[in-house]
Amino acid sequence: MSRRYNTVLVAQMATHLTSQENASLLTQTMSGDTVARDTMITGNMALVLFKVDAFIDGRPALEYLRDDLTSVGFVGLVRAINAVADGARVENLYNYVLTAIAHELQGLVDLEHSIPVPRSTRRAARARGIILSPPVCVNTLSAQLLSVADSDYEMRDLLDAGCESHEDREVIRMREEGYTYSDIAAQIQVSRPTVHRMLRRLAQVTYATLEALT
């Protein structure tokens, strides 16, 4: 998903709400008005695209995750507005929503770490002035899957050979067709982290087989 595509998405969305409109809808949402809640969600969707763009600007290597980051960003937006509707105390709605979106984005990126570091550990390290730099294993399989069927038939055959179930084949097919991890998880009825693990396992099996043959 490129910035140009983001521009198209923004053009198709409801007009972004002003701070005054958000303040008015916030009061209605907190009183249980579901129409106001839905309006707040659709009226703030552009914030997700803004946050994803800014997030990737600082981490260019994550460009291949743009679709998935956008998906989880929308999840963060909905969770934030639902929390407000459920009575969460909010002093600054804009910061509250952006924090919720950022939390979901970072959560997805954390799944890319070969050695996950819990947030509590990172906070404790920062409190002691220690900056943790865990080894990162960027999962490039999803990007390769988008082109492997067209450019490398041998690689595609090895990928198929590594499949152990119908779900494995469905994950590969959907990823090739451009579906996000969230879409795939919903289709095969598993969690998004499970989809990540399935793709990593397929990648490891495929490359191990390739190395054995070369």
Query: pLDDT value at position 138?
Result: 46
**In 13-161, which ranges are continuous DSSP H helix?**
19-30, 34-43, 45-57, 66-85, 93-110, 119-127, 141-151, 153-161
* 3-state class (DSSP) for residue 164: coil
Domain boundaries, the chain: 3-127, 141-213
Token code pair at residue 128:
């002691």
Distance separating alpha carbons of residues 211 and 49, to the nearest angstrom: 40
Residue type, 41: I
Distance separating alpha carbons of residues 64 and 178, to the nearest angstrom: 11
Question: CA 101 → CA 30, 127, 208, distances in Å?
Answer: 20, 24, 37
Express as a percent the part of the chain with pLDDT over 90: 13
Query: pLDDT value at position 5?
Result: 58
Residue stretches of the chain with pLDDT short of 70: 1-11, 111-119, 132-159, 206-214
Q: Which residues pair with 136 in a beta bridge?
A: 113
HSE on the CB side for 4, CA within 13 Å? 0
Buried b / exposed e across 123-139, counting CB within 10 Å, b at 16+?
A: eeeeeeeeeeeeeeeeb
* 3-state class (DSSP) for residue 139: coil
* 3-state class (DSSP) for residue 113: strand
Give domain 141-213's CATH architecture: Orthogonal Bundle (1.10)
